[in-house]
A and B are shown apart, each in its own frame.
Chain A
Amino acid sequence: MLYGIPSPAQAAYGTIPGRYLFLPIAMLGIGFFAYLIVVRLVPLSRAQSDPRHGEVGARLSAVVKYWLAQWKQPRYPLAGILHILIFFGFLALAIRSTSLVIMGILADVHLLAWMKQVAQAYTIVTCYAATLVFVATAVAAVRRLFFHPARYTVPERYGKGHGGEALIVLGLIATLMVSEGLFEASGTVTGAMVHAPTESLPTLTLAWMFQRMLQGAAMEDLRTINLVAYFVHDVTFFAFLCFLPMGKHFHVVTSLFNVYFAKLNRGTIKPVNWGLAADQLDQVKSVGVKKFEDFTWKHMLDFYSCADCGRCSDNCPANAVGRPLSPRFITIKARDYGFRSHPIFGAASNGQPLMGNVFEDDELWSCTTCGACEEECPLLIEYIDKIVDLRRGMVDDGNVPKSLQKPLKALESRGNPYGKMEKKRADWVKEKEFQSAYDVRELEPVGDAKALFFVDSITSYDDRMQSIGRATARVLTDAGEKFGILGAEERDSGHEVRRFGEETLFQILREHNTEAIRESGATRIVTADPHAYNSLKHDYTDVPPVEHISELVAREVKAGKIKFKPVGNPNDVYAYHDPCYLGRHNQVYDEPRAVLDAIPGLKRVEMGRSRDRSFCCGGGGLMLFYEPKEDQRMGVLRVKMAAEAGANVIVTACPFCMVNIEDAIKVAGREGEMAAIDLVELVDQQMVRDSAATAKV
């Protein structure tokens, strides 16, 4: 729209034309912003390498899905909508903001002027965008001030609240919208006075409101309002721009890059150093992250990109039970350390050990690597790799909690964390009743059995979990699968060994198992242990394809080869608990449910937190040995969730979940009210077997 007053570039500000004010402001603003970006990039340029350039197609898809389409935002509906409005508002206002800056410098340059209809349409878009952004910021501010959503709270140990920063930014954004609206409205009213009467600005927008308020105002006043509004907008714009790299709103700049460079191969842990081959590990002086500089550039970018939204900690099971871990603050503390040690002005300081200064030991050992934080984060910030890297540093320094030293030593000498003898690893097959009907043998390359049942340590040695092993063997046999086991040659998969930072011990276990698997001649692997499943699938590189028993059973049920008899007690209500390493990390959600739903008469309910929001049972592998400081057990909370969903039987598909949940049922005093059963035990129980099918292998 044509205004009736000169553009800010030409207008007189005091005695000087605007351009002599706004060009320096712009140069200062842009220059300082560029300087800030350089300061922020310097630590990244010196950081560890992290190759994220491959698979451009997948990366671009991720950008479209997570950045542009804000895919994860709606997981928190209200905040999600608010953010989506602000995000799209900002995108829509991008050209408008640029042209506003130019208006203060070059009088006759109007972007989009050459396409009048586009320009008009764009004006309508920007007016509504600005208005929606304004409303969203107002709602956001009200939420902050009066409703105090729990996830924004800063626990005392982490310092003062962050509400101030949030409100400042909301204030800046609101100021931008209001000043832009006033500028547009005042300019339009002068335009109507000097040129032809114009239509009103888009109805119910901020600008429209201001236009109505300013109708009939004197030209001088309108000019003043217009120029002041412009000035305020311009200064606020550059203030906001330069404020971005100073705190959580850096994500406005970095989010696109953070999503583009996000980790694509879930399930596995990064190598110790990307430039270092696995067998060169002994040759480096130090392993793991001990100082800030030891992080990779992408991890530092993660720290910058945190929006402090608290969704990660809100879903963190360790946080929920009062362990000293809050993922949000891992990132915020690291970010703040990065800011402090690489200040805007002044020399960078570095080399301070992170442990004991920024992080506490237990903060990092408390993590079960369940992945809920990563699943939730709208910016795809990675946590597990960082925690593992920090653990690697602690292990390298010998700083391992006493409770973990014993199982680690046992894994080293006996290949299992219990310290039990290797030669007894396959004793679970010798249970009298089982052995009389089922013959489970070690795989021979010359035989025709080609499937390997990878049992792993807990199922091999724990009295209770051995029944999962036997149930799996029975199900496999009666489904007609020809399989064998590794027997005494099998070692712990090493899944948690790796995730607890003992990379060398993990490599030793992996090497041994890989060799044994190769010698067995197996062409496929099946396991009932999601940790073994995840490790064989993602951490091991030279082994045949692996599937979880639930996937196999679901397939056989669909093909009609496995049939079930009706459930024993039709009044029982079953709830399926998604194990972290089957569900969230590997997206196997439907197959176990399909199996349950195939059992006639089985009533199944979903817990509030299910599928990718499943709540960790407490962790597996080495986590069972760790003694955390916590207010209660994760398993107890999970049992409560099952009860709240109306269930009296929890079905799980992981031996560690079984340990934790059965334990929790006792601790919660719900024995007799709540039962737990493993999926394969239930399948074993309900499977229809005709006499011909129960043959010795």
Chain B
Amino acid sequence: MGGIFAYILHKGGVVDDTATELIAAAKAFDNAASPTAVAVGTGAGLDAVCTALCSSYAEVWKIANDALAYPNAELIRKALLEVLPQDAILLLPHEHFGVDLAPGLSIKMNSPYVSDATGIEGVAGTTLRATRQEFGGQVSAHVQCDISNGAVISVRAGAFKSVEGLAANGTIVDKSSAVGALSAGRRYLETIAAETGDVDITKQSVLVSVGRGIQGADNVDIAQELADALGGAVSCSRPVVDAKWLDKSRQVGTSGQTVKPKVYIACGISGSFQHMAGIKGNPFIVAINKNPKAPIFQLADVGIVDDVLEFLPALIQKVRES
């Protein structure tokens, strides 16, 4: 089995939380595995990242290149191909960067690509067995692949619990010279920030969140009434924004905002991974949904099977009375 590498996401000199999750994923392969961190970028930010990584990774490969000031997957893929060994097993988070980098990389490396793995069962000989979800999370599947020639594995954020307390005292290996001039058919221009709406949901401690089960723009008012009564704000899942019942600035999830409330009341939300991934900090989650099999009931603290449109008005009434 080739060496296990972990692609590290970072921004502004700060290492992303997924970095330590990747260690847990690597351990699932092989408990003795000591994955190598791969950090790509430029300047002082990259240096800070590499230094920070030394406390959890035994070895940190630094690839510094001016062209990589912004993480453009098209360029980074080329850089990695110069640096990674042919049979490398590369772990990376399955998010907007990983999805951009991994498929093409797996072709160029001629390795299998397991995407959005939710679990790694183990390696038998050279066969890796992993789990992933299909049909929007309604079923799971076991997959297997031959990793003798390496693999690219993207890992669902939060599927592997961060491994804490690793005092690795790692070393930084500078691999920058292995990479020549970089250019690609896609060039980064700029990032346009999302328009902040009237309410910043990332700062709220109580969120009343609505999903498709709210059934219509009018009914969002009911959620607003509850939010008002509790001193919080209304947020939502992606389908609500796609249907234009609420502004994008209210969306919680991987393509929306990350929120850290104390209390999260999920109304008519199914609990898809992409949505729940936007909730950090382990809040108290109350879920109301008509469907007793909704995935959210796995993730909530308290669950009520009921029609949101009937339950909420009654709840608002009682809240006002108390």
Contact = CB atoms under 8 A, between A and B. Distances in A.
**Do A and B interact directly, with beta carbons closer than 8 Å?**
yes
Interface of A: 402-403, 627, 633, 666
B159 to A, nearest CB: 31
Contacts of B217: 627
A659 to B, nearest CB: 12
5 contacts: A402-B243, A403-B243, A627-B217, A627-B218, A633-B218
A402 B218 CA distance: 16
A627 to B, nearest CB: 6
Contact of B313 (A402, A403, A666): A666
Contacts of A627: 216-218
Interface residues of B, number: 6
Contacts of B218: 627, 633
Interface of B: 216-218, 243, 310, 313
A666 to B, nearest CB: 6
A336 to B, nearest CB: 32
Nearest to A666: B313
A66 B216 CA distance: 43
A403 B212 CA distance: 12
Contacts of B243: 402-403
B158 to A, nearest CB: 31
Contacts of A402: 243
Given A627-B217, A633-B218, 6 more contacts: A402-B243, A403-B243, A627-B216, A627-B218, A666-B310, A666-B313
Nearest to A402: B243
Contacts of A403: 243
A403 B218 CA distance: 13
Contacts of B216: 627
A666 B218 CA distance: 13
B167 to A, nearest CB: 54
A403 B310 CA distance: 22
Contacts of B313: 666
Contacts of A666: 310, 313
A633 B218 CA distance: 10
A656 to B, nearest CB: 16
A427 B131 CA distance: 36
A403 B216 CA distance: 9
A348 to B, nearest CB: 40
B107 to A, nearest CB: 35
Contacts of A633: 218
A40 B297 CA distance: 67
Nearest to A663: B309
B148 to A, nearest CB: 45
A633 B217 CA distance: 13
A9 B222 CA distance: 79
A633 B219 CA distance: 12
A348 B79 CA distance: 67
Closest 7 CB pairs of A and B: A627-B217, A627-B216, A666-B313, A402-B243, A403-B243, A633-B218, A627-B218
B35 to A, nearest CB: 45
A403 B245 CA distance: 11
A385 to B, nearest CB: 29
A402 B217 CA distance: 13
Contacts of B310: 666
A321 to B, nearest CB: 12
B152 to A, nearest CB: 36
Nearest to A463: B307
Nearest to B290: A463
A188 B313 CA distance: 80
B28 to A, nearest CB: 39
A378 B310 CA distance: 44
A402 B310 CA distance: 25
Nearest to A406: B243
B308 to A, nearest CB: 13
